[in-house]
Structures are given as C-alpha cells and as structure tokens.
Amino acid sequence: MVAFCPYCSNILFVEQNISGQIQFTCNLCPVFFPVKKSISTRTYCKLKDIDDVLGGEEAWKNVDSTEERCPKCSHERAYFLQLQTRSADEPMTTFYRCCNTDCGHNWRD
C-alpha cells in the first residue's frame, strides 16, 4: 500500500514511533497516521524453467562416437557434439557423453 500525505502529496514513510507502534509519517509535514491493522501477505513468483543448452536428449540421438576416455569410469569411448558457444573467432566447444550406459557422464573439452 502506498500512502500519500493529504496536505503536501508527498509519499508517507513507514516508521516506528517511541512506543513501538508502526505509523505512516510525512517527512515535510508534521503529520503521522498510526497503523491500526497488521496485514502481511507473501507472494512467491514461479521460477523460469531452465532450458538445456545442448538441446536435451534429442541433441544426443544421432551423434558420433570417438576414442575418448571417460574421466569418471575410464570407459574408452564417448559420444561427442560440437557447438559454437563463444564468438566466431574462438574454437568450437566439444561436449562428450560416456558410451557406457551405466555411467552416462557428461564433460566438455
């Protein structure tokens, strides 16, 4: 709730007076309005869903595999996918996924 001073039309600020009560006070005029009713509500916004940068599971369907050792399970082969994640004069980023179905570890080079 935004309240304005009825005399100078400036915004009223919420302050606590000497006795501990909360009141609306004008900084220019010598007026105050005690708050008699306490109202509190909280509204939580829904967070935005995070998109998978690589395109999700669909991006890994038709990729090739290469001889690359998995850092987690030491399997000899890994699927790879290359994307341009930085500016055009920078090299492409290579993403790997372990071919071992029990592992499935993802890493990048």
The CA-atom distances, in angstroms, between 39 and each of 1, 7, 21 are 10, 26, 14
Q: Is 29 labelled a binding residue?
A: yes
Q: What is the pLDDT of residues 82-94, one digit of tens each?
A: 888 889 898 988 8
> Per the annotation, does 45 bind a ligand?
no
Residue with tokens 């499935």, as numbered in its chain: 104
Q: SS3 for 60? A: helix
Q: Does domain 1-37 have CATH number 2.20.25.10?
A: yes
Place of tokens 């935005």: 48
Is 8 marked as a binding-site residue? yes
Coil, strand or helix at 51: coil
Which pLDDT score, from 0 to 100, does residue 33 have?
A: 87
Q: What is the pLDDT of residues 6-65, one digit of tens each?
A: 899 999 998 888 888 888 999 898 888 888 877 778 888 888 877 666 677 777 788 888
**Strands 93-98 and 106-108, how do they pair?**
antiparallel
Contact yes or no for 70/79 (Cβ under 8 A)? no
Do domains 1-37 and 56-108 share one topology? The answer is yes
User: How far is it, in rounded angstroms, from Cα 44 to Cα 11?
Assistant: 26
* In the chain, domain spans: 1-37, 56-108
* Residue range 56-108, CATH number: 2.20.25.10
Residue 99 assigned as binding residue: no
Residue type, 87: S
pLDDT at 53: 65
Average pLDDT of the segment spanning 77-83: 89
Asked whether residue 1 carries a pLDDT value surpassing 60, the answer given is: no
Q: Are 25 and 15 in contact (CB under 8 A)?
A: yes
Query: What's the pLDDT at 20?
Result: 84
